[in-house]
Amino acid sequence: MTRAGIGQPSVRIEGRQKVRGAAMYASDHTPVKLLYAVIVGSPVAAGRIERLDTAAATALPGVVRILTRQDMPQFGKLSFAAAVTRLPMQTDDIQYEGEPVAIVLGETLEAAEGGARLVQPVIRATPPLTPKGEAGERPSGPLIIGKDETMGDIAAGIARAAAHVEQTYTQAARHHNPIEPSATVAIWEDGHLTLYDAAQHAYYVVQTLAAAFAIPPDRVRVHAEHTGGGFGCKGRCWPHQILAAAAARITGRPVKLTLTRAQHYAMIGYQPLTRQTVRLAADAGGRLLAIEHAVLNTTAVTGDYVEPATESAKGLYASAAIATRQRMERVNLTIPSPMRAPAEGVGQWALESAMDELSIALGVDPVDLRLANHAEVDPMDGRPWSSKKLREAYAEGARRFGWRERKSRPRQDGFWRLGYGMATCMMGTFRWPSEARVRMRADGSVIIETGTHDIGTGTPTVLMQVVADTLKVDPDRISVRWGDTSLPMAGPVAGSSATIGTGGAVLLAARDLKQRLDRLFPGVEEPAAAFRASGVTELQGEGRFELPNNAGFSADGAGSGFAMRTWGALFVEVGVDPDLGLVRLRRAVGCYSAGRIVNPKTARSQMIGGIVWGWGKATMEESVQEPVHARWMAKNLSNVVIPVNADIPGAIDVSFVDEFDEHAGPIGARGIGELGATGVDAAVANAIHDAIGVRIRDLPITPGKILGALSTGRRTARVDPQ
Ligand code: MOS
């Protein structure tokens, strides 16, 4: 094995570039003759534009032009799910606060910002829709994941049950808030469009803009090398990319458009407000007879978004009967989007809280209850798993945490009441097709080419390791070219999929190159000398990671004969101050079954990040839609509570079971990035219940909710026995 092969803790290859400020992000690009664009948003969430007064703004020195709906072309319809469904500035109707109504173009950013402040939209406001939590609407189109499904006889299961839990769990809307706000630089030249964009899948941007401007996709090229965080919000296309391109085409000059934090809240997707009802019925031994999981989430006035949290009920436990239902509720906000971790990341909150409630009702240890319902095959359709080492993860996690001994551990530390909780972690195994090329030059150096993005997870480093491992080449001799849609098409850096898909394509390309080398220079140890002797200047290998039936996406192994998900067990210790309602994370142990781990250093960092992210979701994060005006209450980070270093203990223990998943992809890996963010909220709520005997079913678990629940408990003496 070389010193950077698969399984080695290599440091990020782009790290030096980043800490020196040399890594280029979208808005770092400043082409000549650039115009700066600033969007003017609607001040109200619902209504109709009556007039836009642009005279004062136009008169401001440095303002070049102001574009309104009348200047916009009619954009072509977008027919795929990866873009905002409501095209910008096409009608006078307003559906959310901050919806673009004009674009001010200036010679400087200051001029454009000054002009934007002078534009006066006159809008006839109508009463906006805000969440009411009512029955909800069925999604109209076909769903890839999150379909309503029923397996077995729910009523029969409930009739036979010895124990029964039915509860509703809510979680607040949340925003991705990447450090780098979305930004686009658009340049038109001879009918060809070039973009520098902050993206998680630049090929979606190509498709979106080609469709919007009705041009062939080969006339659109997107550069997106470094992406300053995304968490899902840059995995889709939003109004700003289309508007920047339109402004550049109309003016004939390059246009840079960077969203403010408030605009990010307005026009980029978010994780919707959800209300989940879970019903569990079990026999006296704790075996599940029925699981019902119903989910309601907010969506836009036009455009369906389903938060497929019912994937949890479909994938996690064996049960005689399982039924799921997804509904939506329309509000005057932009359309939601996936956010680390969507689907099961949302569903585990409800299901794993309900399992804890069931374990208390039955008097069974939470781990034993989960083991009793361990799904040996896919619970819905009986497919075998591609690989699943969840039993090992429970055992190893419990051992490292001291779970079985927890009852003998201290229950108090000063004024802190201590509690212990656990939850099962689970995510789908999202896979996209991917392509890559690996080139060896005559000097023996190797270049990897694939259009992925560096989003901070270590993807280019992992690609380098895969090639170093396959070709036995020193890492210093390997370079990676990425972040350009003219390169072979990589899958998204989303859905925890990059190592499986893009990594898989790179592995296949490296193997292809190795075969060519072996054929051309049989038995040669040192290719550079052989290249010189033969006069060959370069050899190329190509790789394509494909899905069964040439599918464009797979969430759970569809078509492969195997069901695929990722797994883990999370154990936490919290301290709760019952007088002030404060809650602190003291310790967390996560053990995961996610296939082969290519880089233990970056993988560990991903899981710690996921647990921190989950702690924020569990106890802090909340985007509130103001109930009268339907605006987000806070639209900047100064009023948004997220975890900081002081909130996170050093005692976060992350491990992986030894595993190779031969069905998920050629590397043997499944996804990890989002798995670590699942189950944290439920484990924390379960631990809080263990500490103080009250159950909080509404995220985030803030001090006010803890105090409220404690005082209700004291009044009605319904505090659960310890
Ligand atoms: Mo993630 S929500 O798939 O970027």
- What would the mean pLDDT of 515-527 be, rounded to a whole number? 88
Mean pLDDT of the chain: 95
pLDDT beyond 50 at 275: yes
CA of 236 to the centre of ligand 1 (A): 10
Residue ranges around ligand 1 (CB below 6 Å): 200, 230-232, 235, 338-340, 342, 494-495
- Indicate the top mutation candidate among 145, 177, 339 to test ligand 1's pocket, ranked by most ligand atoms within 8 A of CB: 339
Q: For strand 288-299 and strand 322-330, is the pairing parallel, antiparallel, or unpaired?
A: parallel
CA of 232 to the centre of ligand 1 (A): 4
3-state secondary structure of 153: coil
Dihedral sign of CA atoms 313, 315, 318, 324 in order: positive
Whole-number Cα distances in Å, 658 to 385, 491, 588: 16, 26, 20
Kindly state the average pLDDT of the residues 89-98. Answer: 97
Residue 3 pLDDT: 67
What is the mean predicted confidence (pLDDT) over 205-223? 97
Q: Which residues, including other chains, have CB under 8 Å from residue 636's CB and lie 6 or more apart?
A: 261, 262
pLDDT in the model for residue 722:
38
Give pLDDT tens digits for 32-63: 999 999 999 999 999 999 999 999 999 999 99
How confident is residue 639, by pLDDT bands cut at 50, 70 and 90?
confident
Q: What is the SS3 string spanning 545-568? A: ECCHHHCCCECCCCCCCCECEEEE
The residue among 526, 520, 522, 433 whose CA lies nearest residue 471 is 526
The pair of structure tokens assigned to 680 is 């944290």
Q: 575 pLDDT exceeds 60?
A: yes
* 492 CA distance to ligand 1 middle (Å): 9
pLDDT attached to residue 718:
42
Span from the CA of 680 to the centroid of ligand 1 (angstroms): 17
Task: Name the strands in the sheet holding 288-299, side by side, starting at the edge strand that comes first in the sequence.
Answer: 149-151, 322-330, 288-299, 274-282, 163-171, 698-699
Residue 546 burial by Cβ neighbours in a 10 Å radius (0-12, 13-18, 19+): middle
Residue whose CA lies nearest to ligand 1 atom number 4: 232
**Ligand 1 nearest-atom number relative to CA 495:** 3
Which residue among 268, 674, 675, 678 is best mutated to probe the pocket of ligand 1, counting the most ligand atoms within 8 A of its Cβ?
674
β pairing state of 93-94 and 47-53: antiparallel
Which pLDDT band, with edges at 50, 70 and 90, does 707 fall under? very high
How high is the pLDDT of residue 719? 42
Q: What is the pLDDT of residue 713?
A: 67
CA of 689 to the centre of ligand 1 (A): 30
User: Which atom in ligand 1 lies closest to the alpha carbon of residue 232?
Assistant: 4
Kindly report the backbone phi and psi dihedral angles of residue 68, in degrees, each rounded to the nearest multiple of 5, phi listed first.
Answer: -125, -175
User: Atom of ligand 1 at shortest distance to CA of 235?
Assistant: 4
pLDDT for 458 beyond 90: yes
Q: How far is the CA of 457 from the centre of ligand 1 (A)?
A: 12
CA of 442 to the centre of ligand 1 (A): 40
Residue 530 has pLDDT above 90, yes or no: no
Q: Given ligand 1 and candidates 176, 231, 454, which is best to mutate, with the most ligand atoms within 8 Å of its CB?
A: 231
Question: By three-state DSSP, how is residue 427 classified?
Answer: strand
Ligand 1 atom closest to the Cα of residue 493 is 4
Q: In the prediction, which pLDDT does 193 show?
A: 98
Residue 714 has pLDDT above 90, yes or no: no
Q: Give, to the nearest 10 degrees, the angle between helix 680-692 and helix 344-362.
A: 30
Share of the chain above pLDDT 90, in %: 92
Of the chain, the percentage scoring pLDDT greater than 70 comes to 98
Ligand 1 centroid to residue 555 C-alpha, Å: 13
Q: Where on the phi/psi map is residue 133: left (φ > 0), alpha (ψ -120 to 50), or beta?
A: left
**Residue 225 pLDDT > 90:** yes
User: Which residue CA neighbors atom 3 of ligand 1 most closely?
Assistant: 495
When pLDDT is cut at 50, 70 and 90, the band that residue 143 belongs to is confident
Q: Which of 2-11, 268-277, 412-421, 482-491 has the lowest mean pLDDT?
A: 2-11
pLDDT tens track for 363-389: 999 999 999 999 999 999 999 999 999
Q: What sign results for the dihedral spanned by CA atoms 532, 535, 537, 538?
A: negative
Ligand 1 center to 401 CA (angstroms): 29
Q: What pLDDT is stored for residue 85 in this prediction? A: 82
Q: Where are the alpha helices (DSSP H) in 629-693?
A: 680-692
- The reported pLDDT for the residue numbered 90 is 97
- pLDDT at site 82: 74
**Rounded to an integer, what distance in angstroms lies between the CA atom of residue 130 and that of residue 137?**
15
Give the ligand 1 atom nearest the CA of 430. Answer: 3
For residue range 308-329, list pLDDT tens digits in order: 999 999 999 999 999 999 999 9
In angstroms, what is the span from residue 430 Cα to ligand 1's centroid?
10
Q: How far is the CA of 658 from the centre of ligand 1 (A)?
A: 25
Would you state the structure tokens that stand for residue 310, as one six-digit string?
A: 């019912």
Q: Could you tell me the strand order of the sheet in which 434-441 lies?
A: 478-481, 446-449, 434-441, 538-545
Of 267, 276, 347, nearest to 300 (Cα)? 267
Alpha helix (H) residue ranges in 61-166: 109-118, 154-160
**Helices 504-520, 527-534: inter-axial angle, 10-degree rounding:** 50
